[in-house]
Structure 1
Amino acid sequence: MASTKDWFETVAEAQRRARKRLPKSVYYALLAGSERGVSLDDNVAAFSELGLRPHIADLPASRELATTVLGQDISLPVMVAPVGVQAVNPEGEVAAARATAAAGTAMGLSSFASKSVEEVAAANPQTLFQTYWVGSRDELLSRAQRAKEAGAKALILTLDWVFGTRRDWGSPPIPEKLNLGAAMKFGPEVLLRPRWLLDYVRSGKLPDLTTPNLAQAAGEPSPTFFEAYGRWMQTPPPTWEDLRWLREQWDGPFVIKGIIHPDDARRAVDIGATAISVSNHGGNNLDGTIASIRALPPVVEAVGDQVEILLDGGIRRGSDVVKALALGAKAVFIGRAYLWGVAANGEAGVKNVLDIIRSGIDETLLGLRRSSVHKLRADDVLVPPDFSRVINGKAGFPLRDPNSPSRGR
């Protein structure tokens, strides 16, 4: 079926429509990676190095995609990643929350989001709240308690970010406030994208550059993105004992996001994490970091039977999801893919992206002769000998027995 005005058939088409609809600065803020963009590119390219081994007969008539992650039953092993301030659509994270609820999956919400945890959790009860290590311990506890009272089902602590001077490759300047000066500076590129502007005119509000989830309490004044970012930069980075302390305060599923090194995966298990997310922050952290999917096999070898393993980075199609599951992930997060969906067609665009990926997972399972995502095995994927590159001074890592089921389920 070919794409239509209200429906697109690939994530690449969603990206093309997002680029056509969004002002240049907004689009490139979604696309940008650190420094030269090496990690950003590798996140996507690495999946192309993984081959599949299909069968031609005795294929299953139906395939099971549903799974349980962080105590949540979801209809496919794909969740929406927490992404900060979204100016791609007036409804922002609320549109994504409605779409993920309709798709039967979980919604990750950033503490730097443009919509409050109360609004988002009301739109999708399977909301997972994310925070950085920002502020004092009391502030962190207050933020976590507010999320829990709003109905958040899990706490995600993101650690795959090195803040400091602007290092983003291709990242445009972002105004601190939408005042007259900002209007004059960014006005020309906005006028070239009248449909984006019209969406905001119809909504009766300007793009929101505040972070309501970093307010001291619901309903109180929200800091701007840069005010929040400044507080973050002034907060000393956490120690492993800090992380243990926060885990002890949160009595639900607890995720540490940003794991690349197997040693960090082991430490996360030691402090009692429920799950870890193998992630390089979408290529927006330390450039030159290997792709998330390259880091996955050695992390699975280190801790795969002890903790739920998630993956974030580079997912563009259903076959990418299947490759990650076969190599030991329990589920994946998508980031840019769903943001392009929001930009292209709001709530319906996010649902469209999830439907594309769902269909791709189903078709790949059929080709691999697997009746369920839970029956995928490492030998469904052909992995080059040097795929995981060099960690701990070793070239690559041995994979587990190809006849054993995927671990970390």
Structure 2
Amino acid sequence: MAKPEWLQNPWKQNPWFESVAVAQERARKRLPQPVYGALVAGSERGQSAGDNQSAFAELGLQPVVAGQQAERSQATTLWGQEISQPVVISPTGVQAVHPDGEVAVARAAHSRGTLMGLSNFASKSVEEVTGTGARTFFQMYWTGERDIMLHRMQRAQDAGALGLIATTDWSFSMGRDWGSPEIPEKVDLKTMVRFAPRVATKPRWLWTFGRTGTIPDLTAPNLAPPGGAVGPTFFGAYYEWMTTTPPSWEDIAWMCAQWKQISGGKPFVLKGVSRVDDALRAVEAGVDSISVSNHGGNNLDGTPAAIRMVKPIADRVGDQVEVVVDGGVRRGSDVVKAVALGARAVLIGRAYLWGLAANGEQGVGNVLDILRTGVDSGLRGMGVSSIHDLRPEHLLVPDGFHRTLGDVPAPSPGRRAAPASA
């Protein structure tokens, strides 16, 4: 006889949540403090992480009282793919908040008709993730020798990745004012004993892993060397990054060209652009898309909110490359505001990780559904039938909201702007 459901999972609660804020609260209650701390942390005082969210609240929407559209569409194309909504999964590393990790996230993205970004610091291999059927874009940092990077590109291509996302803005700032969350080198018996007092207070999280017979995996399988079966630990990967010379713009152009050759011309996305002059350089380097981002506030603290930098960059290069934005998106209205300012779509990170922690694959799908519903409400309220019709004029933008970094003179008619000198 099958066990009653409450015996199979004595901590079961209504799995559905109505907002990303509720998903975050459930994640906070479910996860051990060091794990939750790693999800919410921003570098230094957290100024950029905070501004990523608060900046959206400075933007208003202009509603109509009649004439709303009965049919509204969120469908668009991004990176050569048709997607059902302008929200895609941003690559984040070591998703140890749930035993299924990136596989669960990929399944949710696939079921909702959108794209999956997979970090090379992920806890699941690119082969496992593409095996779900999810349309996957593989993310790489500039780490290791060039032959190692070529190996990783080839592996992603062989696994069926549809594009490459290059992230080069990472600085791995550890100086958080409230203290950095402790990340163990690996999870072994000694580590489990040391963390036991903090983990024992979170029985739901323990139950989730216990029923699968697994423990959180802090290795990075996508960084395994050629012919190697096991990837390095998180800190092993960090050491490789730390000892790699930062890339030049010539290196970015090389990376882009190599991926195009290996993949037969699949999209190359540069993530972490904050400046107009860098956006222009990216165009010159041959990229297909740029993500306006401050690395979720985990990079150079004091960088403006990503949403503040979207319009100045989109105005200059949006007709040459696809512009997306990531950082601080928590509601469908945030998505509406980003698209109105010139973003093709938004990438989400913390929002879906909280959903993953709260309820696995269904929790990630729940987050995507919340954002979809919020976008639809925004379109209806403003009398807009399609996200493609959104314009800055649909917003109330306070004076001084936008931040234009690295500005260079716009080109004269018939002339092309040259990238600013380094």
**Shorter-chain-normalised TM-score: which range?**
over 0.9
**Partners of 1:243 and 1:271 within 8 A in 2:** yes
Which residue of structure 2 lines up, in the alignment, with residue 262 of structure 1? 276
Larger Rg: 2
Q: Matches of 2:404 and 2:375 in 1, distance apart?
A: 30
Structural mapping, 1:5-404, within 5 Å: 5-163=14-172, 166-170=174-178, 171-217=180-226, 220-251=229-260, 252-389=266-403, 391-392=405-406
The change in CA–CA distance for 1:350 and 1:367 in structure 2 (over 3 A counts) is same
Shift of 1:22: 0.4
**Partners of 1:107 and 1:124 within 8 A in 2:** no
Shift of 1:182: 1.5
Q: Matches of 1:11 and 1:381 in 2, distance apart?
A: 23
Shift of 1:383: 1.2
Shift of 1:222: 1.2
**Partners of 2:312 and 2:404 within 8 A in 1:** no
Shift of 1:160: 2.1
Question: SS of the residue aligned with 1:295?
Answer: helix
Unaligned runs of 5+ in 1: 399-409
**Partners of 1:163 and 1:233 within 8 A in 2:** no
Superposed CA deviations along residues 112-157 of structure 1, whole A, max 9, x for unmatched, are 0000000001113310100000101111111011001101101000
Shift of 1:159: 1.6
**Partners of 1:15 and 1:341 within 8 A in 2:** yes
**Aligned residues, how many?**
392
Question: SS of the residue aligned with 2:54?
Answer: helix
**Partners of 1:10 and 1:353 within 8 A in 2:** yes
**Partners of 1:112 and 1:211 within 8 A in 2:** yes
CA RMSD between the two structures: 1.6
Shift of 1:219: 6.2
Q: Matches of 2:136 and 2:404 in 1, distance apart?
A: 36
Shift of 1:193: 0.1
Question: SS of the residue aligned with 1:34?
Answer: coil
**Partners of 1:316 and 1:337 within 8 A in 2:** yes
Shift of 1:163: 3.5
86-95 vs 176-185, which moves further: 176-185
Q: Matches of 1:338 and 1:218 in 2, distance apart?
A: 33
Shift of 1:169: 4.6
Superposed CA deviations along residues 64-94 of structure 1, whole A, max 9, x for unmatched, are 1111100111100000100001110000000
2:172 alignment partner AA? F
Q: Matches of 1:125 and 1:36 in 2, distance apart?
A: 37
Superposed CA deviations along residues 33-73 of structure 1, whole A, max 9, x for unmatched, are 00000000000000000111111111110111111100111
Question: SS of the residue aligned with 1:157?
Answer: strand
Q: Structure 1-normalised TM-score? A: 0.93
Question: SS of the residue aligned with 1:333?
Answer: strand
The change in CA–CA distance for 1:82 and 1:169 in structure 2 (over 3 A counts) is farther
Superposed CA deviations along residues 213-245 of structure 1, whole A, max 9, x for unmatched, are 001247612111111110110000000001101
Q: Matches of 1:162 and 1:150 in 2, distance apart?
A: 29
**Partners of 2:278 and 2:406 within 8 A in 1:** no
**Partners of 2:43 and 2:175 within 8 A in 1:** yes
Q: Matches of 2:74 and 2:405 in 1, distance apart?
A: 33
212-221 vs 133-142, which moves further: 212-221
Q: Matches of 1:125 and 1:180 in 2, distance apart?
A: 35
Q: Matches of 2:353 and 2:228 in 1, distance apart?
A: 26
Which residue of structure 2 lines up, in the alignment, with residue 407 of structure 1? none
Q: Structure 2-normalised TM-score? A: 0.90
Unaligned runs of 5+ in 2: 1-12, 261-265, 411-422
Which residue of structure 2 lines up, in the alignment, with residue 406 of structure 1? none
Q: Matches of 1:111 and 1:257 in 2, distance apart?
A: 14
Q: Matches of 2:101 and 2:227 in 1, distance apart?
A: 18
**Partners of 2:107 and 2:134 within 8 A in 1:** no
The change in CA–CA distance for 1:179 and 1:243 in structure 2 (over 3 A counts) is same
2:370 alignment partner AA? I
Q: Matches of 2:46 and 2:294 in 1, distance apart?
A: 12
The change in CA–CA distance for 1:90 and 1:246 in structure 2 (over 3 A counts) is same
Q: Matches of 1:168 and 1:147 in 2, distance apart?
A: 34
**Partners of 1:275 and 1:307 within 8 A in 2:** yes
Question: SS of the residue aligned with 2:211?
Answer: helix
